[in-house]
A and B are shown apart, each in its own frame.
Chain A
Amino acid sequence: MEQFLSYANGRYLKVSLFLSVFLSIIYVMHEPGQPKNGGTWFGYTLGTISAVLIIWLMYFGRRKRDYFSTLGTVKGWLSAHVYLGSSLLILATLHTGFQFGLNVHTLAYALMCIAIFSGFYGAWTYVYLPIKKRENLKTISAEEYYLSIEDVDRQIIKLAKDLPESLSLMINSAIERTEIGGNLLEQLSAEDKSCLIYKDELYANVDQSGCIHLLVEELSKVTEQQRAVQLKQIIDLFGRRKKSLKILRYHIKTNVLLKLWLNIHVPVSFALLAALMAHILSVFIYW
């Protein structure tokens, strides 16, 4: 996945570096006879390049869906998108002349920064998280983890049928009240909010430990061989359940991380497009 960073031997990295350094040098050298700002000849040049870059960067969203296009590869486009997008940060900053305020111009700049930094984060997730995700799941798919939990649940319920009522109710409640996923924050935090009911009291059941703890307590009390084996097996099943749930929680979290940034990156980019239009038009309306 990280191949987009080293695409064509870092061709676009070199282009971006050259562009940034070259224009920065001109910025330092040029003396417009007034405080440096976006309204000097060099300011207009930087502004034009930046505006064209923004439109082009946003066109990537269209290009990546254009499966029949022969205009470069999507990987090449992504590589250029990342590196030229990074250089935009420098060009647009130079365009501001380091003058900021509470106005539509700085709004456009701020939105651009959010879009770029969310893009940086996105590039990082695309490089780093797929590896983490695979390491977490090991060799099987998330679907299989879900199925194994189902299977375990069924087995537990069967095994727990002839246990004392309080215990079998507790086990049922532990299965019923297992929590995974949820809203955005819950998915992101991967926090285990599972709980169980034992003797009409609600207890936390983080990592199934509440349930296992109660079962172990029960196990220490039984004298019957058959019951002991039964309890051990249920404990073992809850152990498997816990393992799968933990892996799935992490899986859900990485999934959110991989996708959420784009939900910031894209809408903010469109807000930037509107702010950019306002910026350019307002400057020339009040020339």
Chain B
Amino acid sequence: MKLLIRYLKKQGQSYATEEVTVTGDTLQIGRGTNQHILLPDPRVALEHAKLVAYQDGCKIVTASGKDVLFNRLMVKNCAISIGDVIELSGHKITLLAGENGCDFVVQVKLSTAKQEPIQNRYQVKFSDLKLYKRSWSWIFFLLVFFACLLIPISGVISPSWMETLRESPLPDDKQWLAGELIKPHKFIGDDCSQCHQKAFQPTTNEACLTCHKTIKQHVPEVNVTEDFVAVEQCTSCHKEHNSRETLSEYSQQVCVDCHVEASLDKLEQHEYGSATDFEQHHPSFSISMLKPVLENKVTTGWDSERLLLNNVDLKEQSNLEFSHQLHMDPKGIKSATGEVQLACVDCHVPALNGLEMKLITMEDNCQSCHQLTFDPDDPKRVVPHGSPADVVLMMREYYAFRFIYQNLNNDVDNPIVKAGDLYSVRKVRRPGRDERLRKNFEQSLNSQTVAAIEKLTKQTVRTEALVWAESRANQAAIDIFERQACAVCHVMTKNEDDEVPWQVEPVALTKKWLPKADFTHHGHQTMACVDCHEADKSDLSSDVLIPDIENCQQCHGGLESKNLIPNTCIDCHDFHQAKDHFFRQLTHANQHIKSLEPITNAH
């Protein structure tokens, strides 16, 4: 069988014809190049269908899953006769009667209708979205570059422009703030240049010292030895913008770096032991104790002495006689108002948040029991707690006045006498007693004194008065200075050559025992005083009742301590604690700054 395939291809208005003759009864239809009827269209399968010719007609058989349009229906197989048309993806295949010796003519009319691809009608590609990485990258880069860098930098170059930026909604250098300032620095606000004075230069000490004029340096210049590397920059330790409450929550490594070795305080001629950890490696406490400066065995002043607490011979020399044990007797102690039980706080009152104790004074703390009475007839009458000369003078005046009063006995109703009746002594006076004792009192004055008084006065009455008063005062003074009130607590000396022979040795109580550490009683209120200070067992005022480090170590441990309160160096020690040495400034050059310092450490 012979079959003619005629391709009709559109050329302008007409069709060009191309003919191929095939011998055989089957024509393969498809996109593949091995096909008889070649339809160059991706919609057509490689082997789409086949046309089988018979004597009286043809049959179309499609490949699996394919179909053709025949007679307006999709069909898999169909028989076609001459004049029938089948359609494949718009390409028309018509069966015509044979000619020129061929049994059939198969006319193929290729569709040239170019429809716009469906994907062009929709946005189906990513590129259709027009998201361009490059342009977005430029936009983002320039946005951040201008907002975060260029505009703030322009403000750094021109401070007045920075002010304008800060007042406007434009970006300024506030965004560069690496972390919040600590609370005390908040007042600086957004004025970075207060501390950051020059671009690309670290904050200088001068910037800090503008405000912190009185800060003292850790080690006085006189102490600096050749191998000592001083911490010279404030910022070496104090780091701002770290979102902390303080600038000094630092590792004790900063301290340990130097204090791993013993250090010598040249000024006080005291060597500090090495310390690396409160629990594991810390020397015994050193106290600053007052010591009397003696001249001819008389105290002329006080000196502070640094001593180690673990010294067993440690004795305080305060010139005060006092027994804690006696005063703390749980059964009570005699007072003017009967038996009282004293508590520590009755005398030791914390001051400055417990950093110190208020000064103990005779008037505030002792006198309610230790009344300075001198005349048994007049128990309410006391001498002032002052110099012996004042005491003697007061007693002389008292007895002189009393003599006059006694001689006014007959005129007790006289209004003038009544007006001057200030002394209760008149009522408690026991009649006859004075007469009886007079001779005894007068014997206390030597004959020269009496003679001198008599010569001085010439008048019997005056003589009598003076002798009486002087003798009583003298006797009372001997009693009070040598036997009763003063000698109970004070160290007394006597020099017969002096006008007032008695002298009280000056008393000084050490106010701050541990000036190099900040111990606060305030934080230890849960403890009883005697837990640390063994006052109830101390009979002598020379006993030093400051506990040593072992006492603290019962509760306080080192930084790494697990079952004790972990403590670092600066929990107790103040880095800037020094006597007079201001940071990086020699004292002699800074007298004016020194005068600003309100508190001096009492050593």
Report which A residues bind B (CB closer than 8 A).
31-35, 37, 39, 99, 101-105, 107, 111, 143-144, 146-151, 153-155, 158-159, 161-162, 179-184, 187, 229-230, 233, 236-237, 248, 252, 255-256, 259-260, 262-263, 266-271, 273-275, 277-278, 281-287
- Determine whether B187 belongs to the interface, using a CB cutoff of 8 Å to chain A: no
- Determine whether B153 belongs to the interface, using a CB cutoff of 8 Å to chain A: yes
In the complex, the chain A residue whose C-beta lies closest to that of B128 is A181
Residue contact B72 to A274, C-beta cutoff 8 Å: no
Contacts of B201 in A (CB 8 A): 287
Contacts of A263 in B (CB 8 A): 131, 133, 136
Contacts of A111 in B (CB 8 A): 144
Nearest-CB distance from A236 to chain B (Å)? 8
State A215–B588 Cα separation when bound (angstroms): 109
Contacts of A99 in B (CB 8 A): 178-179, 242-243
State A251–B254 Cα separation when bound (angstroms): 63
Nearest-CB distance from A73 to chain B (Å)? 23
Residue contact B145 to A277, C-beta cutoff 8 Å: yes
- Determine whether B422 belongs to the interface, using a CB cutoff of 8 Å to chain A: no
Nearest-CB distance from B238 to chain A (Å)? 9
Nearest-CB distance from A277 to chain B (Å)? 6
State A53–B418 Cα separation when bound (angstroms): 105
- B74, B137, B180, B254: the one contacting A101 at CB < 8 Å is B180
Report which B residues bind A (CB closer than 8 A).
42-43, 69, 72-74, 87, 89-90, 115, 117-119, 122-126, 128-129, 131, 133, 136-145, 148-149, 152-153, 156, 173, 175-180, 192, 196, 199-203, 237, 239, 242-244, 249-251, 253-254
State A248–B123 Cα separation when bound (angstroms): 12
Number of A-B contacts (CB under 8 A): 179
A sample of 5 more A-B contacts (CB under 8 A), given A263-B131, A285-B176, is A34-B239, A103-B176, A161-B72, A267-B141, A278-B145
Residue contact A267 to B124, C-beta cutoff 8 Å: no
In the complex, the chain B residue whose C-beta lies closest to that of A256 is B126
Nearest-CB distance from A274 to chain B (Å)? 4
Residue contact A34 to B250, C-beta cutoff 8 Å: yes
State A111–B118 Cα separation when bound (angstroms): 40
Contacts of B153 in A (CB 8 A): 281, 285
- B124, B129, B136: the one contacting A248 at CB < 8 Å is B124
Residue contact B129 to A282, C-beta cutoff 8 Å: no
State A151–B152 Cα separation when bound (angstroms): 63
State A88–B196 Cα separation when bound (angstroms): 31
Residue contact A274 to B142, C-beta cutoff 8 Å: yes
Nearest-CB distance from B287 to chain A (Å)? 30
State A99–B180 Cα separation when bound (angstroms): 10
Contacts of B177 in A (CB 8 A): 101, 103
Nearest-CB distance from A91 to chain B (Å)? 18
Given contacts A33-B237, A34-B239, A286-B176, contact A274 B149 (CB under 8 A): yes
Contacts of B242 in A (CB 8 A): 34-35, 37, 99
In the complex, the chain B residue whose C-beta lies closest to that of A38 is B178
In the complex, the chain A residue whose C-beta lies closest to that of B235 is A287
Contacts of B124 in A (CB 8 A): 180-181, 187, 248, 252
Nearest-CB distance from B463 to chain A (Å)? 85
State A34–B251 Cα separation when bound (angstroms): 6
Residue contact A151 to B118, C-beta cutoff 8 Å: no
State A99–B434 Cα separation when bound (angstroms): 90
- B115, B123, B148, B253: the one contacting A33 at CB < 8 Å is B253
State A182–B153 Cα separation when bound (angstroms): 44
Residue contact B251 to A33, C-beta cutoff 8 Å: yes
The listed residue with most B CB atoms (<10 A of its CB), out of A101, A107, A230, is A101
Contacts of A161 in B (CB 8 A): 72
Contacts of B87 in A (CB 8 A): 158
State A124–B142 Cα separation when bound (angstroms): 30
Residue contact A162 to B72, C-beta cutoff 8 Å: yes
State A260–B132 Cα separation when bound (angstroms): 10
- B43, B90, B173: the one contacting A286 at CB < 8 Å is B173
Contacts of A183 in B (CB 8 A): 123, 129
The listed residue with most B CB atoms (<10 A of its CB), out of A154, A267, A287, is A267
State A143–B43 Cα separation when bound (angstroms): 10
Residue contact B73 to A229, C-beta cutoff 8 Å: yes
Nearest-CB distance from A58 to chain B (Å)? 10
Residue contact A283 to B200, C-beta cutoff 8 Å: no
Residue contact A147 to B43, C-beta cutoff 8 Å: yes
Contacts of A287 in B (CB 8 A): 196, 200-203
Residue contact B175 to A268, C-beta cutoff 8 Å: no
Given contacts A101-B179, A103-B175, A286-B192, contact A155 B69 (CB under 8 A): yes
Given contacts A35-B249, A179-B122, A184-B131, contact A266 B137 (CB under 8 A): yes
In the complex, the chain B residue whose C-beta lies closest to that of A249 is B124
Would you give 28 A-B contacts (Cβ < 8 Å), ordered by A?
A: A34-B242, A34-B250, A35-B244, A35-B249, A37-B179, A99-B179, A103-B175, A107-B144, A143-B42, A146-B118, A149-B118, A150-B118, A159-B69, A181-B124, A187-B124, A187-B129, A255-B126, A259-B126, A266-B133, A270-B138, A271-B140, A277-B145, A278-B144, A283-B176, A285-B153, A285-B196, A287-B200, A287-B203
Contacts of A150 in B (CB 8 A): 43, 115, 117-118
Q: What 9 A-B pairs come out closest when comparing CB atoms?
A: A181-B124, A274-B144, A271-B140, A267-B136, A278-B148, A282-B176, A278-B149, A270-B137, A274-B145
Contacts of B253 in A (CB 8 A): 31, 33
Contacts of A252 in B (CB 8 A): 124
Nearest-CB distance from A252 to chain B (Å)? 5
State A102–B171 Cα separation when bound (angstroms): 13
Contacts of A180 in B (CB 8 A): 122, 124
Contacts of B73 in A (CB 8 A): 159, 229-230, 233
In the complex, the chain A residue whose C-beta lies closest to that of B42 is A147
Residue contact A146 to B119, C-beta cutoff 8 Å: yes
Contacts of B192 in A (CB 8 A): 286
Residue contact B128 to A37, C-beta cutoff 8 Å: no
State A260–B244 Cα separation when bound (angstroms): 42
Residue contact A237 to B129, C-beta cutoff 8 Å: no
- B117, B176, B239: the one contacting A35 at CB < 8 Å is B239
In the complex, the chain B residue whose C-beta lies closest to that of A259 is B126
State A162–B125 Cα separation when bound (angstroms): 36
The listed residue with most A CB atoms (<10 A of its CB), out of B42, B115, B176, is B176
In the complex, the chain A residue whose C-beta lies closest to that of B139 is A267
Nearest-CB distance from B371 to chain A (Å)? 59
Residue contact A187 to B251, C-beta cutoff 8 Å: no
Given contacts A147-B42, A154-B90, A252-B124, contact A39 B72 (CB under 8 A): no
State A150–B111 Cα separation when bound (angstroms): 14
In the complex, the chain B residue whose C-beta lies closest to that of A266 is B133
Residue contact B243 to A104, C-beta cutoff 8 Å: no
Residue contact B74 to A155, C-beta cutoff 8 Å: yes
Residue contact A275 to B117, C-beta cutoff 8 Å: no
In the complex, the chain A residue whose C-beta lies closest to that of B176 is A282
State A127–B253 Cα separation when bound (angstroms): 50
Nearest-CB distance from A130 to chain B (Å)? 15
Nearest-CB distance from B206 to chain A (Å)? 15
State A252–B124 Cα separation when bound (angstroms): 6
Contacts of A181 in B (CB 8 A): 122-125, 128
Contacts of B143 in A (CB 8 A): 271, 274
State A263–B134 Cα separation when bound (angstroms): 9
Nearest-CB distance from A131 to chain B (Å)? 19
Contacts of B119 in A (CB 8 A): 143, 146
State A32–B242 Cα separation when bound (angstroms): 13
Contacts of A281 in B (CB 8 A): 149, 153
State A208–B473 Cα separation when bound (angstroms): 131
In the complex, the chain A residue whose C-beta lies closest to that of B180 is A101
Contacts of A269 in B (CB 8 A): 137
Contacts of B145 in A (CB 8 A): 274, 277-278
Residue contact A271 to B144, C-beta cutoff 8 Å: yes
Residue contact A286 to B133, C-beta cutoff 8 Å: no
